[in-house]
Structure 1
Amino acid sequence: MIPPHTHAEHASSLKPDKSWRIWWMLLRPHTLTAAFIPVTIGTVLALQEGSINYGLFIAMLIASILIQAATNMFNEYFDYKRGLDNEHSVGIGGAIVRNGVQPSTVLNLAFTFFGISILLGIYICISSSWWIAVVGLVCMAAGYFYTGGPVPIAYTPLGELVAGFFMGVVIILISFYIQTGTVTFTGFLVSLPVSILVGAILLANNIRDLEGDKQNGRRTLAILLGRKRAIQFLGFMFLTSYLLVFLFIGMGISSAIILVVLLSVPKAYQAVKAFIGKKLPIEMMPAMKATAQTNTLFGFLLAIGLFLSHLM
């Protein structure tokens, strides 16, 4: 239970170093690579078509990270408003219920991040196409309605699909388009394993929260599949991502050097294994962490592999 004093009083009484950590954790930094990696991969693919505009790359990178951070804050705010978060909740969230940050502050900061993203988007549109504005607004709407609105996307079986599509396919293709002025089937194919692994992060989260989500009336994919099948499906998602890499080599999209992504396989194996036999949310935190790390390692290694393949 939150102490009798107000959120503002609690937040203002924190020591500076602790306060800094609270605001940093509010961003949920472990999720921000899901915004950084797709922009990098899309830009590396564009590099294979010619030179790139580094100003556009930086603007797209910052805008994507801000939209992801804002989405995390909407999640924090709406989970609090719906009573899903409490001081005993497991996870990185809880700045409102555990640390006394005012709900309105979280919401306003999220909209501020959206505002900065729009300004960056204007620069990107001036340098490329105004159609990017339409796509960008749809992305922001998806970020808001993921946990906001009367029927949040995150509370349905479509959460993993929507998150993967926007954080994988859409961001990679936009990053490629603003550099080249076109979209290719190759870019779409390369975006698929990234999309799958972003979805895997959400599935891992929903496996951990399965019982609590069920009690709160959610209908996530993990609930529909059941814990055992959801863990099996997580393993299938990992396997599919790695098999797609071999497809890229066979199609001539990249040389065999792209197999460097296989260095992330142990982390994927660790993620699946860490879920097996676990029932308590706190016991599944290592599995969630390993899933997010798999996405990060795979993405970075994929970008490196594509870049090195371009140089060869």
Structure 2
Amino acid sequence: MAGMTMSTWIRGARLKTLPLAVAPVIIGTALSWKGVFVYSQGGDVLHEPCPFFGGQRDLGETKLGSLVGACHHSVSWFILVAVLCGCVALFLQIAANFANDYSDGVRGTDEGRGADMEPGRSSAETLSTRDPSRGPARLVASGVNPGTVLAAAGISALIACLCGLAVCTLTGYWWFILVGFACLVVGWCYVGGKHPYGYHYLGEVFVFVFFGLVATCGTMFALTGTVSLSGIWGGCAAGFVAVAVLCVNNLRDIESDRNHGKHTWMTALGRSKGAVLAIALLTMAPAMAVLFFLVLCRSVLVAEGVPAMSIVSIAAILIMYAIHAAAIVAIAKERYGTALPLCSLGSLVLAVTFVMSSMLM
């Protein structure tokens, strides 16, 4: 540990993958804001201001005989719960990254990645000389004590659990503990344990469910107490990008995975067909975001004409397509080191597109 630096642990946390954890939370939050508080905290002549923090859901009759002006929860409560949901997703992702590093490291799956890491060499020297086609060097494969990496995973998981307990306290949905426990089990069993599902063609399925539907719909339920069809739609779009990232990662490691008995969709399909699948996923996700925008824009156009926010949404859509197109080109040229961060960035821009579109609601 004497030679360990902060940059080593930052590398182990795999910062390039973290947007995949945050993007579905952003989508779930964007699709929830309008149903949580109906008017500003300032109040008006007929309504008392919403409380600064907390507040109760009030679905009864108001002075105007409608739900206009009803305080469901305050703005501060909404923001805090949304941020905590983001922290849960973020630290669960970091915990899973460290746990995967540990499990693959002790199995020897990552041996080729860390072979060029020599004791005493700085991270900058290592990164400047290593072959990027072999994938980033992992901590355990680079000589870091496996127990230390496992401890880092545990600390990250503990932080996620504390944030999750705060969400349960603020929302009253204590059954979220079961969801959190399921996330921890899924994160560990991806490549950990005696029968890791990531070695038996199930990694892509679980990534879609947990990095797409669970993260998006879970955030939406925490904030509103319900899940809409738009939440499921947004969760599927986020899930497609997450699966595409996993496909690109597995395309890069396809030979190593085959040698170590790790069965993924890419080892089954082969490099060419696997690339087609990854490209298809990266095509469907932005198409879903655009369709969502068009449906909302059409309803607003009928009622109010062309809103200014639609121009901002179109700009976000163009940026989203540019990033996804660049990622698709990189995959086609087998430049996986370039494709991975582009896909990850694409998930964030996808989320921003949903945010901009939700302003039309």
TM-score normalised to structure 2 length: 0.75
Distance (whole Å) between structure 1 residues aligned to residue 93 and residue 265 of structure 2: 22
Match in the other structure for 1:78: 103
Task: Give the whole-Å Cα distance in 2 for the aligned partners of 1:306 and 1:93.
Answer: 39
- Give the 3-state SS of the residue equivalent to 2:32 in structure 1: helix
Match of 2:270 among 216, 222, 226: 226
Contact 2:201 2:263 in 1 (8 A): yes
Give the one of 86, 110, 117 matched to 1:61.
86
Which ranges of structure 1 fall in alignment gaps of 5 or more residues? Answer: 1-10
Larger % of helix: which?
1
Aligned equivalents of 2:336, 2:293: Cα separation in 1 = 35
1:267 aligns with 2:323: yes
1:34 equivalent in structure 2: 20
Between the aligned residues of both structures, percent identity stands at 26
Deviation at 1:179, TM superposition (A): 1.1
In 2, Cα distance between the equivalents of 1:300 and 1:160? 24
Instruction: Measure how far apart 1:164 and its partner are.
Output: 1.9
Q: Which residue of 2 aligns with 1:241?
A: 285
What is the identity, as a one-letter code, of the residue corresponding to 2:9?
W
Deviation readout 1:170-192 (Å, 9 max, x if unpaired): 01111111111112222111211
Matched residues in 2 for 1:252 and 1:271: separation? 28
Report what 1:308 is aligned to: 359
Once the two structures are TM-superposed, the CA of residue 250 in structure 1 deviates from its matched residue by 4.9
Report if the CA contact (8 A) 1:76-1:93 is conserved.
Answer: no
Whether the 8 Å contact between 1:28 and 1:92 is mirrored in structure 2 is no
Deviation at 1:70, TM superposition (A): 0.2
Contact 1:39/1:60 (CA < 8 Å) preserved in 2? yes
Structure 1 pair 293/277, CA: closer, same or farther in 2 (3 Å)? same
The whole-number CA distance in structure 1 between the counterparts of 2:290 and 2:161 is 38
Partner letter of residue 263 of structure 1? Answer: I
Q: Is the 8 A contact 2:106 2:140 kept in 1?
A: no
* Alpha-carbon offset, residue 251 of structure 1: 4.0
Q: 2:239 aligns with which of 195, 211, 216?
A: 195
SS at match of 1:164: helix
2:347 is aligned, of 281, 291, 295, to: 295
Once residues 138 and 177 of structure 1 are traced to their aligned partners in structure 2, the CA distance between those partners, rounded to angstroms, is 17
Q: Is the 8 A contact 1:34 1:296 kept in 2?
A: yes
Are 2:202 and 1:177 aligned?
no
State the structure with more CA Rg: 2
Backbone CA RMSD of aligned residues: 2.1
Partner SS state of residue 149, structure 1: coil
C-alpha contact (below 8 Å) 1:156/1:221 kept by paired residues: no
The within-5 A match list for 1:43-192 is 43-51=29-37, 52=75, 53-86=78-111, 87-88=114-115, 90-98=134-142, 100-128=143-171, 129-192=173-236
> CA distance change for structure 1 residues 164 and 150 in 2, over 3 Å: closer, same or farther?
same
Matched, 1:13 2:3: yes
**Residues 239, 276 of structure 1: alpha-carbon distance in 2 compared, 3 angstrom cutoff:** closer
- Give distance in 1, aligned partners of 2:293 and 2:319: 17
What is the one-letter code of the residue matched to 1:134? L
What SS class does the counterpart of residue 107 from structure 1 fall into?
Answer: helix
SS at match of 1:12: coil
The Cα of 1:307 is off from its aligned counterpart by: 4.4
Whole-Å Cα distance in 2 between the matches of residues 302 and 292 of structure 1? 16
Provide the rounded CA distance (Å) in 1 between the counterparts of 2:26 and 2:261: 38
Deviation readout 1:18-57 (Å, 9 max, x if unpaired): x011111111111111111111211111102133522212
Shift of 1:163: 0.8
Query: Which segment is superposed worse, 20-29 or 120-129?
Result: 120-129
2: CA distance between counterparts of 1:269 and 1:183?
31
Deviation at 1:262, TM superposition (A): 3.4
Cα shift at 1:108: 1.3
Deviation of 1:88 (Å): 3.2
**Structure 1 residue matching 2:274: 3-state secondary structure:** helix
Q: Is the 8 A contact 1:201 1:288 kept in 2?
A: yes
Aligned to 1:3: none
Q: Match of 1:8?
A: none
Structure 1 pair 298–252 and aligned structure 2 pair: CA distance change class (3 A): closer
Deviation at 1:288, TM superposition (A): 2.5
Partner of 1:285: 337
Structure 1 contact 71–143 (Cα < 8 Å) conserved: yes
